[in-house]
Amino acid sequence: MGVKEAELRGASRQLLYTVRRLSDEALFKKEKRVLAIDIKNGEYWEENSGKKLKLPDTIHIKDVVAGKGARTSGITTLAFFPSGLRDEAMIHLSDKDKEYTIVIPALGERFEIHEEGNNK
């Protein structure tokens, strides 16, 4: 595994960890949590905390697929509810050579990362 691929895998895992944490917090604390994603700038944060996490410069967010379609720019949000429901979404991260997809189901514990292979 090359350095770029290791960065992509690490960034994907860190974002997935954040998604899982927000989902768990919403359920256990009985409070809605919201993840904000700035697609263009490669940043994400919990809406109420303001502390932004930035992807490595070699990694970009290709798009976020949620609701009625894919967003390729701007800031999009994903909500996690106390009932265990959450906005169903797919977040595509890319390093130009490979793409990883973070899958967020509407309900259940089955968060996943899919490796899409070579984009060349």
57 burial via Cβ count (<10 Å: 0-12, 13-18, 19+)? exposed
pTM across the whole model: 0.92
Phi–psi pair at 20, nearest 5 degrees: -60, -40
* Rounded CA separation 64/62 (Å): 7
The 10s digit of each residue's pLDDT in 11-61 is 999 999 999 999 999 999 999 999 999 999 999 999 988 799 999 999 999
Phi-psi domain of 117 (left: phi exceeds 0; alpha: psi -120 through 50; beta: other): left
Domain with 106 in it: 3-118
Q: How many domains does the chain divide into?
A: 1
50-93 per-position pLDDT tens digit: 799 999 999 999 999 998 799 999 999 999 999 999 999 999 99
CATH code of the domain containing 109: 3.55.40.10
